[in-house]
A and B are shown apart, each in its own frame.
Chain A
């Protein structure tokens, strides 16, 4: 199941675990990323908490946790090479895997078509 948030995150949900990243639109708006800070594995977040930080040459931006849950894995590859977020934001440059506290809450997130309309 692929879902989106109005804060420009995507979630690919499989068996109650969401792989989370930022959308192509968000990556384009941010510009060349030079630094990524990811959460600690095992930490828990509520929906809307700042879970990660991305920095371009000019500014720092928060990446929000899209739903309540626990971080079960993070993607070290984008810490080592932040430009991956610009080149493959909706593929290899995922940010973290989130074990959802309430998987059914994902139903309320945006479908791909609705998100595309939002950023059109």
Chain B
């Protein structure tokens, strides 16, 4: 598996190998799924100290307005995302979605206002398609550039601020979803206070030439351990965060995906810039009338994990199908199985008793509030 010539490497690939990582193919890259500590310990370490993740496979894209006015880039991007980009202040970041004409989700992304340009972070598996979408939609008003000279790491967990604070004292002034430029070991990095674990933490964009150096220095801190994709998945699942391709995709709308919060008032019915994004009719229609199904948290009652793909029923004999699990596994911090999935309207209330088909049995699961763990963002 190591040395598969069809898989791309991130700038930290050799570092992963030196740390004893087990590498797996993921979204066209060879990525660390776990280090010698294992998924369970890596997960727990992130929740009590600080975990360091290589997310350099994700796409980092610059959208620079030809006019020099950030408003022009914001309004152009708003044609592709149902998000209030114009209202995003300089130095602030916001979650967004690319939608298609049917209201389905093409990808989810982070959008930052960097003053004279927008900085986007998109999923690895979608980044080429996203780049084409952006070029096609924005090229008349903006220069769209995929950055291939920057690595991206995430430092997540309750000790992340203190660790980063040893390199950059001003980090404590940042709030959740703030983005700032700072020198770490004399390397200029773009730092956002955000992440994908439910913990307070940071994502750090680093010039490739210095990526190994900065990462190694962070790993030298006794509170920091490297964390693989395995724990990244269990952390985000406990935090109730969607994995694109599993929990949201082109067949799910933002309303079905319970992501209404990602559409600010300005883009909703009656807002200053109502609609004007792909699939607006369907999505705004679902805002008004509700959707026929919805993404919910699911808490299996026993110890058996209920995985993505398991069918859900209203009855213990499996006669009345009501939906499907999209992500599921074991939550080390919950100390039990956790899942999320789509269920038909009428079965979405917290506490609703459902049954998941696992190896021919119908296991009781309850519709549960997300997240499964308390988010500790510094708002």
Contacts and interface: CB of A to CB of B under 8 A. Distances in A.
Given A57-B40, A59-B307, 5 more contacts: A35-B330, A55-B330, A56-B330, A57-B230, A58-B33
Given A55-B330, A57-B330, A31 B304 contact: no
A73 interface: no
A60 interface: yes
Given A57-B329, A57-B330, A31 B303 contact: no
A61 to B, nearest CB: 12
Given A31-B34, A32-B40, A37-B359, A57 B304 contact: no
A31 B332 CA distance: 13
Contacts of A46: none
Interface of A: 31-32, 34-35, 37, 53, 55-60
A17 B332 CA distance: 37
B43 interface: yes
Q: Interface SS of chain A: helix, strand, loop or mixed?
A: strand
Interface of B: 33-34, 38-41, 43, 230-231, 233-234, 303-305, 307, 329-330, 332, 337, 359
A101 B338 CA distance: 40
Contact of B39 (A35, A37, A58, A60): A58
B38 A31 contact: yes
B34 A60 contact: no
A7 B43 CA distance: 29
A68 to B, nearest CB: 21
Contact of A34 (B231, B233, B305, B307): B305
B94 to A, nearest CB: 30
A35 B305 contact: yes
B329 A58 contact: yes
A34 B330 contact: yes
A31 B230 contact: yes
Contacts of B329: 57-58
Contacts of B33: 58
Contact of B38 (A32, A55, A60): A32
Nearest to A55: B305
Nearest to A28: B38
A35 B304 contact: yes
A58 B303 contact: no
